[in-house]
Chain A
Amino acid sequence: MQELNTLIASLEQALLSLDRLKAQEVLQSALTGQVEPLIVATLEKIGEGWETGDVALSQIYMSGRICEDLLNTILEPNNEAIAEQPKMAIAELHDYHLLGKRIVYSIMRASGFDLLDYGQKEVDELVELVQKNEIKILLISTLMLPSALKVKEVRAKLELRGLDVKIVVGGAPFRFDEQLYKDVDADAMGKSASDAIKIVKTMIEEQK
């Protein structure tokens, strides 16, 4: 355990200072089966730093990008992906501010989750895709309040089609009003990208 904590501290330091080589070294020194928990714990720690104001969004974005790149291109293909995942997707709803979605996508992928990236979608297009791909967990990112309020339409249209989908929302409007996710009939709200990992893990456990 002590060793994992040391690795987490080293990886955190490497990521926050954008030291890709050091991050690669730390990941390569991890034992088989340790890579995914190491990345998840480190990105969670960095995410907590954002919530307290100690870490900047640009550092979270670059950390996610580095981890994703290392897993995809430098290390062996990630064979530690979490088994038996429900079908998941992520989308930016209505507005065009894609950074939040991209960060969550990178961090989820770097943490071993497999999910579809729908890009920017309007309500009807999104509902159509969710049905077609039989999505069970849908992550929705928004920056603008009007977009956040449209999650309620997504929920209503999914229900009309009889689709049982867990909706996880994130983005500035939800961070500034912690009641908003309930008002729009989402199941959960993540304050940071690493929150998404915790929430999705819990949902997967509950669905077993």
Chain B
Amino acid sequence: MTENTMTSMQRVLTTLGHQEPDRVPLFLLLTMHGAQELGISIKDYFSNPEHVAEGQMRLLEKYRHDCIYSFFYAPIEVEAFGADVLYVEDGPPNSSLPLIRKHDDIKRLKPPNAKESPCLIKVYEATRMIKSKVENEVPIIGVVMSPFSLPVMQMGFDKYIDLLYEQPDLFQQLMAVNEDFCVQWANAQLEAGATAICYFDPVSSPTIIPREMYLKTGFEVAKRTISQIKGPTATHMASGFTLSILDDVAQTGTAVIGSSTQEDLSALKAASQGKLTILGNLNGIEMRRWTEDQAEAAVREAIAKAGPGGGFILSDNHGEIPWQVPENVLAAISNAVRKWGQYPLDWIEDYGK
């Protein structure tokens, strides 16, 4: 096994430049596993930024992957807007009852001050603590929910689809509020030390809305929002399809696209060549029952399909690895990247023969 010659930051920047680094970078997008490391509940873990900083550092040391993930949990943003968050013992917190019960509530909605929101301040503090330790050697990936996808938690998915199709004026009002908040929140994370922002936008996926609607809605929102975020962004559709809108996504100004495990990685790589770096696409749900051999085979296949030429970061397909995925599988993924991900990827010629 070749000794690595680059820091994680150099490795990631090289692949983002569509060049081959020393090996394929690995992003294990772990959140709740930090609580397992510290032996505390998920609720306790996220209540204190020191826990999250410590958890992320332990995960980095244990799995030797190539990023810190300063993401706490998806409903933290609606919490900042005033909603309640429900914790469970074995999974990510959920948003409670929607803030927007009827469409008219949108008229009274105001963006919270992201810098002063107590729940978000914990994220900035954790980011600062981590940054002081990793400095510029390991990228810190912050997270925002896109203004276009946040309404699923603000008002419920069905009411949001009704709004999209039937209330274009109120939809635009909601986007104005959410865009203001999203830009503040992303830039505050960057100021605290995040290297890049993952822009989660599952509603824009053709799994959820048709491309024609995306071009009129989520695409325009992404262009406006991403242009105001003062750092690089990665767009993630949380397991949704992306292939048919890759060219559109590239035009929003993002550098990376998260990919679904249900799409062909070779096709995604070919379509994104030179435009977007592919992040993905190990099946996080199946991962909970993988053997170590299955983990290695999945890593090998993903690298064979998307590794050549750089422009690829190995990761799960959803943007968060489930609590149920065991340590030995995570370790097997990490070991497999070291075994099969060293450039040049000479073994690929014989792969599958």
Which residues on A are within 8 Å of B, measured CB to CB? 18, 50, 53, 55-59, 61-62, 94-99, 102, 144-147, 149, 172-173, 175-177, 179-180, 183
Contact = CB atoms under 8 A, between A and B. Distances in A.
Contacts of A59: 210
B91 interface: yes
Nearest to A55: B210
B158 A102 contact: yes
Contacts of A146: 88, 90-91, 323-324
B94 A176 contact: no
A58 B213 contact: yes
A96 B96 contact: yes
B154 interface: no
Contacts of B241: 53
Q: Which of A50, A62, A176, A177 has the most CB of B within 10 A?
A: A176
Contact of B208 (A56, A94, A95, A145): A56
Interface string B144-163: 00000000000011100100
B261 A98 contact: no
Nearest to B243: A53
B59 interface: no
B56 interface: no
Contacts of A147: 91
A172 B239 contact: yes
Given A61-B161, A62-B161, A177-B285, 11 more contacts: A53-B243, A53-B244, A56-B208, A57-B209, A58-B161, A58-B208, A58-B213, A98-B157, A145-B91, A177-B289, A180-B285
A91 to B, nearest CB: 16
B206 A56 contact: yes
Interface string B71-108: 00000000000000010101110111100000000000
B283 A99 contact: no
B92 A144 contact: yes
B164 A144 contact: no
Nearest to A16: B210
Contacts of B208: 56-58
Nearest to B211: A56
17 contacts: A56-B210, A56-B213, A57-B208, A57-B209, A58-B164, A58-B165, A59-B210, A96-B94, A96-B97, A98-B157, A145-B324, A146-B88, A172-B239, A175-B262, A177-B283, A179-B286, A179-B289
Contacts of B193: none
A17 to B, nearest CB: 10
Interface residues of B, number: 37
B172 interface: no
A94 B91 CA distance: 11
Nearest to A180: B285
Contacts of B156: 98-99
B213 A144 contact: no
Interface string B258-269: 000111000000
Contacts of A144: 91-92, 94
Nearest to B214: A56
A98 B243 CA distance: 27
Contacts of A96: 86, 94-97
B322 interface: yes
Interface string B213-252: 1000000000000000000000000010101100000000
B183 to A, nearest CB: 26
Nearest to B157: A99
Nearest to A172: B239
Interface in B90-132: 90-92, 94-97
A176 B286 contact: yes
A99 B91 CA distance: 20
Nearest to A57: B208
Contacts of B47: none
A176 B161 contact: no
Contacts of B210: 55-56, 58-59
Contacts of A56: 206-210, 213
A177 B286 contact: yes
B94 A173 contact: no
A57 B289 contact: no
B147 to A, nearest CB: 17
B130 to A, nearest CB: 27
Contact of B207 (A53, A95, A183): A53
Nearest to B206: A56
B323 A176 contact: no
Interface string B324-336: 1000000000000
Contacts of B322: 145
A98 B158 contact: yes
The 5 closest A-B pairs by CB, nearest first: A146-B91, A99-B157, A176-B285, A177-B285, A56-B210
Contacts of A145: 91, 285, 288, 322, 324
